[in-house]
């Protein structure tokens, strides 16, 4: 099939059949258990949901539909004529269908998204009138997504009595339109907040045929290297299995049959937390503080170790290190490090990040609390953006959000395709736990 919708359609019945067999065979098996400590401890490692688009291995990192990040970098189509990074549109195809797309399939997604990318003028004008200096860019972003919700095909179809078996297609329509519009929205917020509302004329972005380039150009960046960085960035941040705050929020809210706009806005609100997506903003601030505190002293192991201990003594976490599931260096960090080694090996901030890779894990090991002392995706992204002139760290989580739509909305389409019900896990009180276990 050439169109994405037809490709997804062709996968639904076989997948439903597979789920049916799995449930027939293993439906009553115990997938995981939950101790009292896990219930109080953020449900860490409790296996209680099925999420098809990606799976996280604690040692190896994320796999998108079975493909590791290096495999995706190798196999997914690139921009013509000389792109080296995978096109996000190819990842979208992979996440939605499970197949590596052909060049022409990716081109069809690129064209489809390009055609959907026009944001209604009144929405843009509403964004222009927000108090940009007082509202965090993530707050502006969720407002924008909620504003776009009025165009939801899924909500319209529901109101007109659409059959449950058709929800996925309306959901996919909304997902594609929303994904296509997010770069425009992100750029509008960026230019409003940091560039005196001087927007990039549409003619400048008109020949940007892929989402990464369109995002780069409408933010106001013109180098092909930055286009490549945006493609890599959009691929790396797209999906991280189902239990992280943003993905789970999208799934949970979507399970009430809230449409993709409403569900994704919920996910963005979760992404805006400092322990999750906002960590990329925190990392850059922390790195700049490190540099200031060094005050011209060399970046030696000794000096950096002392400054890391200072952060910990002040009761702060070291942003960009640690992970709830991963137990090794995040391959998304490694992919960005490779990009830096190629394009900005002599950048001072990259050298600081590199040196911290040697220092921080030792400090965290010595502190003895963290389960994973290694760097995560957010440790690296800021220095790359900053190198090309995107210095406004408050904006970084918005870029993360543009990317996260690709994964979480693909998964949401499958939730509707498989007819998953409203989520409603059982909660108990501390008194209930005492009564229950004391009685034994």
Give catalytic residues, as residue numbers. Answer: 276, 323, 378
d(CA 276, CA 325): 13
Backbone angles phi, psi at 350, to 5 degrees: -65, -40
Find the shortest distance in angstroms from Cβ 322 to ligand AMX. 2
Reported in sequence order, the residue ranges of 219-348 that DSSP labels E, i.e. its strands, are none
Which range binds ligand AMX by CB under 6 A, 7-15, 21-29, 109-117, 271-279?
271-279
Find the shortest distance in angstroms from Cβ 44 to ligand AMX. 6
Pick between residue 108 and residue 372 the one whose CB is nearest to ligand AMX: 372
Find the shortest distance in angstroms from Cβ 325 to ligand AMX. 8
376 binds ligand AMX (CB under 6 A): yes
d(CA 429, CA 40): 11
In terms of Cα–Cα distance, which of 69, 49, 41 is closest to 57? 69
Pick between residue 98 and residue 320 the one whose CB is nearest to ligand AMX: 320
Binding mask 305-344 for ligand AMX (x = CB under 6 A): -------x----xxxxxxxx--------------------
Reported in sequence order, the residue ranges of 184-294 that DSSP labels E, i.e. its strands, are none
In terms of Cα–Cα distance, which of 302, 313, 319, 298 is closest to 393? 319
Find the shortest distance in angstroms from Cβ 267 to ligand AMX. 12
Q: CA dist 50 to 32, 128, 305, 407, 420, Å?
A: 12, 40, 41, 14, 10
349 close to 387: Cβ distance less than 8 angstroms: yes
d(CA 149, CA 296): 50
Which range binds ligand AMX by CB under 6 A, 47-55, 276-284, 340-348, 420-428?
276-284
Pick between residue 387 and residue 400 the one whose CB is nearest to ligand AMX: 400
Q: Which of 229, 234, 279, 384 binds ligand AMX (CB under 6 A)?
A: 279
Q: CA dist 106 to 88, 112, 246, Å?
A: 9, 10, 26
d(CA 276, CA 131): 25
404 close to 91: Cβ distance less than 8 angstroms: no
- Of residues 187 through 246, those in contact with ligand AMX by CB under 6 A are 244
Angle at 223 between CA 137 and CA 70, to 5 degrees: 80
Place of tokens 């059949």: 17
Pick between residue 350 and residue 396 the one whose CB is nearest to ligand AMX: 396
Find the shortest distance in angstroms from Cβ 131 to ligand AMX. 27
Comparing every residue's Cβ against ligand AMX, the nearest one is 322
* Count of residues that interact with ligand AMX, criterion CB under 6 A: 21
14 close to 7: Cβ distance less than 8 angstroms: no
Which range binds ligand AMX by CB under 6 A, 9-17, 90-98, 176-184, 374-382?
374-382
Pick between residue 185 and residue 279 the one whose CB is nearest to ligand AMX: 279
Which range binds ligand AMX by CB under 6 A, 21-29, 117-125, 224-232, 269-277?
269-277
- Of residues 8 through 37, those in contact with ligand AMX by CB under 6 A are none
Pick between residue 199 and residue 327 the one whose CB is nearest to ligand AMX: 327
* Exposed / middle / buried, residue 158 (Cβ in 10 Å: 0-12, 13-18, 19+): middle
d(CA 190, CA 220): 9
Pick between residue 40 and residue 126 the one whose CB is nearest to ligand AMX: 40
Find the shortest distance in angstroms from Cβ 240 to ligand AMX. 7
**DSSP state, 86?**
B
Q: Which of 98, 101, 243, 277 binds ligand AMX (CB under 6 A)?
A: 277
Q: Which of 23, 74, 125, 371 binds ligand AMX (CB under 6 A)?
A: 371
Bridge partners (DSSP) listed for residue 438 = none
Chain residues binding ligand AMX by CB under 6 A are 244, 275-277, 279, 312, 317-324, 369-372, 376-378
């Amino acid at each position: 099939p050439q169109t994405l919708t037809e490709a997804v359609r062709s996968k639904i019945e076989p997948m439903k059949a597979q789920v049916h067999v799995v449930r027939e065979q293993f439906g009553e098996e115990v997938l995981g258990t939950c101790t009292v400590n896990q219930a109080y401890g953020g449900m860490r490692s409790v296996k209680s949901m099925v999420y098809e688009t990606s799976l996280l291995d604690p040692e190896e990192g994320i796999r998108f539909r079975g493909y590791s990040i290096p495999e995706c970098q190798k196999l997914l189509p690139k921009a013509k004529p000389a792109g080296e990074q995978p096109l996000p549109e190819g990842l979208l195809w992979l996440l939605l269908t499970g197949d590596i797309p052909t060049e022409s399939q990716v081109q069809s997604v690129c064209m489809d998204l390009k055609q959907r990318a026009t944001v209604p003028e009144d929405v843009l004008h509403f964004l222009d009138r927000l108090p940009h200096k007082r509202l965090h860019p993530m707050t502006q972003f969720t407002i924008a997504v909620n504003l776009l919700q009025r165009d939801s095909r899924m909500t319209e179809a529901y109101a007109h009595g659409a059959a449950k078996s058709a929800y996925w297609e309306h959901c996919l329509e909304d997902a594609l339109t929303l994904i296509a519009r997010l770069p425009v929205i992100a750029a509008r917020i960026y230019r409003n907040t940091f560039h005196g509302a001087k927007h990039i004329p549409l003619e400048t972005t008109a020949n940007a045929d892929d989402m990464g380039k369109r995002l780069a150009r409408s933010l106001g960046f013109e180098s092909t290297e930055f286009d490549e960085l945006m493609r890599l960035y959009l691929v790396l941040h797209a999906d991280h299995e189902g239990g992280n705050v943003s993905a789970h929020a999208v799934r949970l809210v979507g399970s009430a049959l809230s449409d993709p706009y409403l569900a994704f806005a919920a996910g963005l609100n979760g992404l805006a937390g400092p322990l999750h997506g906002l960590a990329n903003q925190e990392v850059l601030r922390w790195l700049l503080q490190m540099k200031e505190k060094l005050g011209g002293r060399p970046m030696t192991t000794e000096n950096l170790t002392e400054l890391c201990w200072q952060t910990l003594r002040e009761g702060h976490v070291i942003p960009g290190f640690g992970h709830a599931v991963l137990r090794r260096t995040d391959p998304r960090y490694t992919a960005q490090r490779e990009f830096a080694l190629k394009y900005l090996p002599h950048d001072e901030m990259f050298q600081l990040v590199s040196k911290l890779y040697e220092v921080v894990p030792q400090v965290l090991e010595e502190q003895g609390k963290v389960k994973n002392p290694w760097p995560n995706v957010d440790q690296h992204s800021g220095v790359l953006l900053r190198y090309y002139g995107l210095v406004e760290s408050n904006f970084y989580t918005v870029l993360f959000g543009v990317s996260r739509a690709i994964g979480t909305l693909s998964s949401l389409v499958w939730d509707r395709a498989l007819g998953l019900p409203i989520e409603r896990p059982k909660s108990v009180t501390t008194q209930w736990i005492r009564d229950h276990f004391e009685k034994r």
